[in-house]
Amino acid sequence: MMGMTLVVGDMASVSLRLVSDMKCLLSYHKTIDQLCEAFSVHSGTRGYRQKLSSHSLLGKLDSVCSMYNKLLQEVRDICGNQTLKPNGPHGSLPHVTISMFHDLKAQMTELYSLVATTSPEYVINPNALLSLPCEHHFPTMRQRYPMPTILQYCQQLHTVVQESVKRMTVSSYHYFTHKASFYPQPKLQEVIIPRRHLSLRSAATKKQKLKEKDRKLMQNWRLDYCAGLRNKNFIGS
């Protein structure tokens, strides 16, 4: 018995096993729960859907960073090295992960401060700041080159950003997903742009009758690749 840790001899595997206190593990899981609440992360049956205020979100991040600092300090005290940067085996999160959470807290504080000074009425949705936009950006960037160089990345950046902007629209879409899927605020996918700028028809545009050759081409394409009912108003009959 060492403090709150029990050392058990396992004769089957000829090894020593530790049975330790679960307080640290539960505290760590509590920080994960706080992060899920801060960024409104949810699953089908469990999670948080209510968006927190900036003060509450920053408070959650501060609590998480304080917890990680405490774990880090305990490891440094045990090892007798106040400059130690643990990397896993010491019993705490890697130092680089702790630093990332501190950066997250600092960046969120600066972001809220910047928005408050420039556009106080604008409401930030923390859930929209998660990794999904980045995940979409980089797979799109790698479609041409599996691992683009800096020059190739810069050359494709304009096209990739342009395609990403095309995904932001005021139009509505129907997504065929599982009936239990949950979308908290679909309007967050919209970009508020005056509709006059989105009009595809100018005053000089005139209606033109579809040529018979083009109509046949569209009919054949629909028959080959599209399923569904025949639309007489579109393809004719």
Ramachandran class of 7: left when φ > 0, alpha when ψ lies in -120 to 50, beta otherwise: beta
What distance in Å separates the CA atoms of residue 51 and residue 109, rounded to the nearest whole number?
A: 17
Beta-bridged to residue 5, according to DSSP, are 2
Q: What is the pLDDT of residues 119-175, one digit of tens each?
A: 888 888 887 777 666 777 778 888 888 888 888 888 888 888 777 776 665 555 555
Beta-bridged to residue 6, according to DSSP, are 19
Please compute the mean of the pLDDT values over residues 200-218 and round it to a whole number. 71
State the pTM of this model: 0.51
Beta-bridged to residue 89, according to DSSP, are none
Residue type, 220: N
When pLDDT is cut at 50, 70 and 90, the band that residue 3 belongs to is: low
What distance in Å separates the CA atoms of residue 57 and residue 42, rounded to the nearest whole number?
A: 16
User: Could you give the count of Cα atoms lying within 13 Å of 145 in the half-sphere of its Cβ?
Assistant: 13
When pLDDT is cut at 50, 70 and 90, the band that residue 110 belongs to is: very high
pLDDT beyond 80 at 17: no
Nearest one of 176, 174, 148 to 160, comparing CA atoms: 148
Q: What are the structural domain ranges in the chain?
A: 1-126, 131-172
Q: What is the pLDDT of residues 42-92, one digit of tens each?
A: 766 677 878 888 889 999 999 999 988 988 888 888 888 899 888 867 767
* 97 alpha carbon, distance to own chain's centre: 17
Ramachandran class of 50: left when φ > 0, alpha when ψ lies in -120 to 50, beta otherwise: beta
